[in-house]
Amino acid sequence: MKGNDVEPMVFGAVLLAASMHAGWNVVVKVGLDRFSSIVLLALFSALICLVLLPFFPLPAAASWPWLLASAMVHVVYKLTLVRAYEHGDLSQVYPLARGTAPLVVALVSAGFLGEAMTGAKLLSILLIGGGVCLMSLRGGAVGRMPPKAFVFALATAGCTASYTLLDGVGARLSGSASGFIILLSIFDGLFTCAYAVSRRGLRMLVQLAPAWRMGFAAGAMSLASYWIAIWAFTKAPIALVAALRETSVLFAVLFAVFFLKERVGAGRIAAAVAIAAGVILMRL
């Protein structure tokens, strides 16, 4: 592809991934206790990938350090996300956790990865990131965002930026985006389950069995969403893909309003307009 253009297929695929990412967050918010939900998600993502592993080439050895580091960051990401949801609304936590990450990714990509960024592309990233943050800081059904939810949401954003950069570089070194995401998901599942067992014992995995349908749905959406993102990292600048993924907040707010009955005021409508403007500018 040429320059910083996001081809129509990549653009549409990342938007689809954004909707699935918001979908699995809704499942985590309304399912079992948050920790159990996230463990179940990681477990089923790993199981699906174990079935798929023989059909895809393994990633190149050069990408493995990036892959293993990313898998560990993904575990921390899940834990901070769970804690954030314990203290705040979906429509509060999710936008802040996602919205600040593209700004960090854009700066690091330009400064250390040599990705050129035009004024229009930078403005689109700022509109999306700023709109996402505004949507969160306007408060939710319980009013202003609780301090603990704010802190854990920012920690989640830091993890998001970190694994996005690790995966962007790793996927490009892997020679196989599919092999990279499959192996990443397997290690992520192993690390997450190991942590869960250390906290709650082996009985926890047995107790999760009755909720396997929810786990499969969330795991499949999570895997499909990030599989698309990993592929997109090899086709477009990492910063642009990272920003476009954060349109998932629009889907998250819609889900929060229609399924979780959370309130949305004028401030969040204005934030949604800013995000939409950023997406349109990026496409143009």
**The two three-digit tokens of residue 209, written as one number:** 């069995």
Confidence bin at 36 (pLDDT 50/70/90): confident
Structural domain that includes position 257: 8-283
d(CA 64, CA 124): 32
Nearest to 56 by CA among 166, 186, 169: 186
- Could you give the percent of the chain with pLDDT greater than 70? 67
d(CA 165, CA 255): 28
Residue 272: the pLDDT is: 67
Longest dimension (CA), the chain: 54
Q: Is residue 212 part of a domain?
A: yes
Token pair 């199981």 in the structure block, residue? 47
Q: Is residue 276 part of a domain?
A: yes
Q: Is residue 3 part of a domain?
A: no
pTM to 2 decimal places? 0.74
d(CA 80, CA 152): 6
**In the predicted model, is pLDDT for residue 107 greater than 90?**
no
Residue 81: the pLDDT is: 83
d(CA 245, CA 19): 9
Q: Is residue 19 part of a domain?
A: yes
Q: Is residue 232 part of a domain?
A: yes
d(CA 213, CA 43): 12
- Could you give the percent of the chain with pLDDT greater than 90? 17
74 versus 81: the higher-pLDDT residue is 74
**In the predicted model, is pLDDT for residue 141 greater than 90?**
no
**In the predicted model, is pLDDT for residue 143 greater than 70?**
no
Three-state DSSP state, 132: helix
**The two three-digit tokens of residue 5, written as one number:** 């253009």
d(CA 28, CA 211): 12
**The two three-digit tokens of residue 122, written as one number:** 């930078």
**In the predicted model, is pLDDT for residue 100 greater than 70?**
no
Nearest to 242 by CA among 224, 226, 223: 226
Number of domains in the chain: 1
Q: Is residue 252 part of a domain?
A: yes
Residue type, 253: V
Q: Is residue 142 part of a domain?
A: yes
Q: Is residue 2 part of a domain?
A: no
